[in-house]
Structure 1
Amino acid sequence: MTALTLSTAAAAGLKADALVVGVAKGDKGPVVAPGADAVEKAFGGKLATVLETLGASGGEGEVTKLPAPDGVKAPLVLAVGLGAVPEKDESFGTEALRRAAGAAARALSGTKKAAFALPVDSADEVQAIGEGVLLGAYSFDAYKENGNGKAAKAKDAKGPLGDAVILGTKPRDKAAKAAIERATAVAEELNRARDLINTPPNDLNPEAFAAVAQAAAKEHGIKVQVLDEKALTKGGYGGILGVGAGSQSPPRLVKLSYSHAKAKKHLAFVGKGITYDSGGISLKPAGHNETMKCDMSGAAAVFAAVVAAARLGLEVNVTGWLALAENMPSGSATRPGDVLRMYSGKTVEVLNTDAEGRLVLADAIAKASEDKPDAIVDVATLTGAMMVALGSRTFGIMANDDAFRTSLYEIAEASGEPAWPMPLPEHLVKGMDSSTADIANMGERMGGGLVAGLFLREFVGEGITWAHLDIAGPAFNEGAPFGYTPKGGTGTAVRTLVALAERTAAGDLG
């Protein structure tokens, strides 16, 4: 895996295989960013001119490689775009640095050692660059000819970039050192989530996912409980069992419990873990099945966030619930028109078996409510409607508390995860009326993402603050890589959940 270190060495004098510098987009052409002064001098003060000659503008994510001049020990200089030159007395911002570092790390695939001479004035910027490097260096090659045939553990993951040195900060600076440690823990666990999302469904069924969670829990001192199909039947988890009824791979409900002796608050994270979603009897049309291995991205995010909280030793209790099932059509599958008795005791008429995520989440949310946490946050690739509303890079946030919804939005944006607050209109509830059950799993087509949120709200325990993150859009990138985001599983929502846990540990739940 890529290793992060800090150094105050001069950029031009450090021995490395590549030296990364920043370039911004100015009114009259590219502008060399702070941190690259020595490199600019080695180019005779003409680095910006050379870059412009080569077609560089300093636009965000733009990468230009140059042979290093005399006076620079690294043989290669890589200039990466940071976007527009900031206003006077303002910085480029952590997300611009994170994306630039990620783009550079991807471009340096196969490089043993790279030094990053990007603008650094704070521990937050060190952390952003570190996260960008580790996330941008990610690759999933377990199923390639030279792969190992299975998803790698985070600590064993092989990134295409070797050592990465972040210049401009003293290695003994406590704040900078802590920033590197946080960046490493969060990025490694986020990359573990990406591995799970990218693993083919024939190798990652509910039982296999549960086994991965058990192994990680043992490694990091997290308590784990796995409910198999017998325990789920005995406990009356009709939603999870109903979704998994058509598969030869039975469902699981996994509880991960991280606790801290000084914790004053308790968070519960609930993740949708459909390891493959065919739509069930309401079969998806051709062209909509190929990426459905990603339908467990919510559970992957929850799993990664709990492990990251444990690695960081956060002073907050965090419980993760992974609702795992495979949604398949067969003679034993749940049919449209069937009625399921959920864990909470409510009955649900299933009008569409492809609206299965809300069924497994409902059981897990009801169970999580029994612990009386201070807040519940569920994460799910829940609706195509949310993608229609917000596109492929932004997730929606719904909640039963406006202040909590606003807080989560601010946390997500600060973490570099685009999100948008969404309403829960009361008039849409009536659309889920059923003549045979307490509620139907479908309502009005228009506003379908909001209907799903309203359905989940019905299963939240009384008096408990709750939020729902619909990550259907950004969870899986079908296009080309950008910034620190690879093609395939992205691990979205991990950073938001970890940041929420950190803020809660600091006494600000929102």
Structure 2
Amino acid sequence: MNFDLKTLDLRTVAAEKCDQLVVLVGEDFVPGDDPLARLIAQALKNKDLETKPGKSLALYQPPGMAARRLLLVGAGPGDARAVRQALAAIAPAFRSPGVKRVVVCFAGGVTASAVSAVVQGIAQARYVYTLTKPKAETSELTRVVLGVPEPKAVAPAFETSQAVALGVELAREWGNRPANHATPSMLAEAAKALAKHPNVQCKVMGPAEVERLGMGAFLAVARGSAEPLRFIELRYTGAARGQAPLVLVGKGITFDTGGISIKPASEMDEMKFDMCGAASVLGVFRALAQLQPTINVVGLIPTCENMPDGRAVKPGDVVTSMSGQTIEVLNTDAEGRLVLCDALSYSKRHKPQAIVDIATLTGACVIALGGVRSGLFASNDALGEALLAAGEASGDLAWRMPLDDEYAEGLKSNFADLGNVGGRPAGSVTAAKFLQAFVGDVPWAHLDIAGTAWKGGAAKGATGRPVALLTHWLLARAEAQAATSQKATPARNKAAPRKVRTSRPGA
């Protein structure tokens, strides 16, 4: 699907030929003397339309309009949140038969964040999972024109939102695939496909390489499955090679039975979503490939299945992690932290600026925060605040959780350096404390996305979160680093004038 940004207002958009014209009517709408503005004013006056987000009025071939269908939609205050609500309410309209070209216009003020919400909202509404459901009704929509008074002012947000939409769609697609269509090997192939883009490289390691690295915790989880593990390493090199990277680590359990500590049968099918952390890393790299920011990023994905066969790790077993720390496996269903701890140890080889891991880690986080905000744990306040800000800017929300040292008391073991669970109280916090034991002094954050990575019930499916949050965070870091570099350049030139090369214009 293609998005275009075009200079349009209520007067000029009436002449746009399209299958559907969507006009977002905010509380700041001011009636004008053009036909479309008068129509909106009349609908509001007669209470056939409300500006409350999601309220809509559909018209077919209205006089004076080139559009075949006109959909007036309330957009409340016109901010990103209200626009997302408005588009979610009319999502079926973007999948209607015969709707191939859509024009979206604002009847009121336009902000960059609202423009982003339109792009991502339509992309989300258009997405339909089809891999194992080929007869699913798909959208015919191929082009969306977004009309704004001043395209230049919102162009950066428009470009970013398209890239984020691509990343979210990739993450949703892999999250939605059944486990037999998303094995560790298949996930590795998806990562390799990303290496076709400029500045993206991919390396995939198998069981032998992982064993040589001493990743005993990761190996222990994978032992019970017939599917071989894969350790995926993605690199995006958009800055100088000497610049320290930011590292993303995504949990990639392609199916989680719980192992010997087997899960209840009810809703166990949803454990195919246990690799959504890995899927989000793939999605972020798709966005980076599109945007090509000046930054270096490493993506690590430890991926395997957690199965209960005769070779599977048992409760009470003690395994040795890559860090050398021993772990008593008190519960084999706490496997995500076992694969992540070895990946976190490995990540330090890159001498990163910061590490962020993303995992569907604990049911306790679902109880604490539901499906609205992801749980955010950070060892560094600046990093934590930056990630929170990125969540607010992107609408992919998170909430800061505690990391007091006292929470680690429950991880003590009589038979190993630490146990892999700390009991029911504060389960999401003790899981984070476990991971923190493997990162050392590197600024680190953990996103527990167990409540936000997918939805259950009638709307069952992956959400693609937190691709938007992470992409916005990385872009902000790229901008900050560029600004720092520009400030430092004159000082260096002044200190070492003989190293400065000059040339005539055109030389």
Change (3 A) 1:197 1:220: farther
Please, which of 178, 192, 197 is the counterpart of residue 214 of structure 1? 192
Please, which of 345, 351, 361 is the counterpart of residue 382 of structure 1? 361
- Tell me the distance in 2 between the aligned counterparts of 1:78 and 1:218: 40
- Tell me the distance in 2 between the aligned counterparts of 1:194 and 1:369: 29
Deviation at 1:59, TM superposition (A): 3.0
Match of 1:74 in 2: 67
- Tell me the distance in 2 between the aligned counterparts of 1:37 and 1:323: 61
Which secondary structure does the structure 2 equivalent of 1:13 belong to? coil
Please tell me whether the aligned partners of residues 31 and 41 of structure 2 are also in contact (alpha carbons under 8 angstroms).
Answer: no
- The higher radius of gyration belongs to 2
- Tell me the distance in 2 between the aligned counterparts of 1:159 and 1:251: 36
Deviation at 1:132, TM superposition (A): 2.0
Match of 1:46 in 2: 42
Deviation at 1:48, TM superposition (A): 1.4
1:233-263 Cα offsets, whole Å, 9 max, x none, are: 1211112111111111011110001112347
- Tell me the distance in 2 between the aligned counterparts of 1:107 and 1:357: 39
Please tell me whether the aligned partners of residues 281 and 335 of structure 1 are also in contact (alpha carbons under 8 angstroms).
Answer: yes
Match of 2:6 in 1: 6
Alignment of 1:113 with 2:93, yes or no, is: no
Please tell me whether the aligned partners of residues 22 and 33 of structure 1 are also in contact (alpha carbons under 8 angstroms).
Answer: no
1:400-431 Cα offsets, whole Å, 9 max, x none, are: 11232122112111110121110012222111
Change (3 A) 1:34 1:208: farther
1:186-265 mapped onto 2 (5 Å cutoff)? 186-262=164-240, 264-265=243-244
Match of 2:492 in 1: none
Out of 491-500 and 74-83, give the one that drifted further.
74-83
Task: Name structure 2 gaps, 5 residues minimum.
Answer: 485-507
Alignment of 1:61 with 2:54, yes or no, is: yes
- Tell me the distance in 2 between the aligned counterparts of 1:68 and 1:147: 29
Please tell me whether the aligned partners of residues 259 and 333 of structure 2 are also in contact (alpha carbons under 8 angstroms).
Answer: yes
Please tell me whether the aligned partners of residues 401 and 466 of structure 1 are also in contact (alpha carbons under 8 angstroms).
Answer: yes
Match of 1:344 in 2: 323
Amino acid paired to 2:39: F
Amino acid paired to 1:492: R
Alignment of 1:360 with 2:326, yes or no, is: no
Please tell me whether the aligned partners of residues 278 and 292 of structure 1 are also in contact (alpha carbons under 8 angstroms).
Answer: yes
Amino acid paired to 2:8: T
Match of 1:407 in 2: 386
Please tell me whether the aligned partners of residues 433 and 440 of structure 1 are also in contact (alpha carbons under 8 angstroms).
Answer: yes
Q: Normalising by structure 1, report the TM-score.
A: 0.88
Please tell me whether the aligned partners of residues 59 and 82 of structure 1 are also in contact (alpha carbons under 8 angstroms).
Answer: yes
Please tell me whether the aligned partners of residues 395 and 470 of structure 1 are also in contact (alpha carbons under 8 angstroms).
Answer: yes
Please, which of 160, 163, 168 is the counterpart of residue 148 of structure 2? 168
Change (3 A) 1:32 1:501: closer
Task: Name structure 1 gaps, 5 residues minimum.
Answer: 25-30, 87-91, 149-157, 482-486
Please tell me whether the aligned partners of residues 94 and 139 of structure 2 are also in contact (alpha carbons under 8 angstroms).
Answer: no
Please tell me whether the aligned partners of residues 409 and 420 of structure 1 are also in contact (alpha carbons under 8 angstroms).
Answer: yes
Please tell me whether the aligned partners of residues 7 and 170 of structure 1 are also in contact (alpha carbons under 8 angstroms).
Answer: yes
- Tell me the distance in 1 between the aligned counterparts of 2:204 and 2:32: 52
Please, which of 119, 122, 126 is the counterpart of residue 130 of structure 1? 119
Alignment of 1:93 with 2:79, yes or no, is: yes
Change (3 A) 1:455 1:236: same
Percent of aligned positions that are identical: 38
- Tell me the distance in 2 between the aligned counterparts of 1:219 and 1:78: 38
1:236-294 Cα offsets, whole Å, 9 max, x none, are: 11121111111110111100011123474520000001101111111101213021111
- Tell me the distance in 1 between the aligned counterparts of 2:121 and 2:136: 24
Please, which of 18, 21, 26 is the counterpart of residue 20 of structure 2? 18
Please tell me whether the aligned partners of residues 199 and 238 of structure 2 are also in contact (alpha carbons under 8 angstroms).
Answer: no
Deviation at 1:22, TM superposition (A): 1.9
- Tell me the distance in 2 between the aligned counterparts of 1:115 and 1:491: 25
1:174-229 Cα offsets, whole Å, 9 max, x none, are: x5444333222210121011000001111111011001101111234411111101
Match of 2:464 in 1: 491
Change (3 A) 1:37 1:338: farther
Q: Normalising by structure 2, report the TM-score.
A: 0.88
Aligned length: 477
Match of 1:153 in 2: none
Out of 105-114 and 94-103, give the one that drifted further.
94-103
Amino acid paired to 2:427: G
